[in-house]
Amino acid sequence: MSKTYRLGAIGFAHMHINHLLDEFNKLPNIEWVACADNTPAVPSRTMKPSGRLMNLKYAHETIGIPKVYDCYHEMLEKEKFDIIIFCPENAKHGEVAEAIAKAGAHMVTEKPMSASLSDALRMVRACKKYKVELMVNWPTTWSPAVRKAKELIDSGIIGDVWEVKWRNGPSMGPLSYSTGDQAWLPEEKGEEWWHQAAPGGGALLDYCCYGACLSRWYIGKPAVAATAMKANFTSHYGDADDNAIIVVRYPEAFTILEATWTTWHTGIPTGPIIYGTKGTLVVTSANKEGRRVPVV
């Protein structure tokens, strides 16, 4: 008889937690135990799609997590878990992961791994110390088109990769996808961590991380240098950046990463676009199943 895994959730800042909960909920051998949000520096007051209040409500009422704690530390003391999904603010990943590791639970979080190298190392060290596993979910890596691109690169069809360009698709920010009476007002957005710099909000951490992950994978070597710029051009209800550019130097390649929360239409394929010594590979993800991959 297969084991039944006891699951919990901590932190509802990132709306991608809903997808992670959905995926785990499809498994036959899991039992939801409890959940708790971490305490934000600025309290959320708006119950609209993608907001932390709505995310927590979804976990309790739709997913069916039976217990909701006010404090995740109390939850970890009183309950026993095998796996915990955690999606607090980017800058809170380190402290939450450490608490989960001390409780002896394996864990899954959403990209980016953390807001800083020091927090990432804190997470790794805690997992090693308490002998638990950590998984960071990168949604793009599950894309058939993205994986096909890696297969083609490794086959040598475009030669040696010397540049990777990545830009996120059309986006007016993470809270821009609701319409009508569910649309977020500027002052409501300003109260959410996404538009606050201190907790790790901003377009750079939200979107450039995708390109950083993919370019390292495609190029196959560690970066040797990087420089970046970020700015808040139009989202003045918050102090986090809404546009960013990172240029990364590899031993024999460049990467250009662009993140934007202010673009209605990208005008060009968002990619990634991979330039090689024998050809260029444009990943459009136009075919969901990844069945048609024209080679020009």
pLDDT of 135 above 90: yes
pLDDT band at 285 (very low <50, low <70, confident <90, very high): low
Rounded to whole angstroms, the Cα distance separating 278 from 275 reads 8
pLDDT in tens, 36-79: 999 999 999 999 999 999 999 999 999 999 999 999 999 999 99
Around Cβ 117, how many Cβ atoms within 10 Å? 9
Tokens coding 277: 């010594």
For residue 224, give the nearest of 192, 247, 204, 243 by alpha carbon: 247
Q: What is the pTM for the complete model shown?
A: 0.93
Instruction: Classify residue 251 by its DSSP letter.
Output: T
Rounded to whole angstroms, the Cα distance separating 259 from 232 reads 12
Rounded to whole angstroms, the Cα distance separating 160 from 104 reads 44
Cis peptide bond upstream of 112, omega within 30: yes
The distance in angstroms from the start CA to the end CA of the chain is 51
pLDDT band at 1 (very low <50, low <70, confident <90, very high): low
Tokens coding 58: 């979804």
Q: Could you give the domains of the chain?
A: 5-137 (3.40.50.720), 140-282 (3.30.360.10)
DSSP E strand boundaries for 37-156:
67-69, 83-87, 106-110, 134-137
Least confident of 7-21, 110-124, 262-276: 262-276
pLDDT in tens, 84-96: 999 999 999 999 9
For residue 251, give the nearest of 147, 160, 167 by alpha carbon: 160
Q: What's the distance, CA 3 to chain centroid?
A: 29
pLDDT band at 293 (very low <50, low <70, confident <90, very high): very low
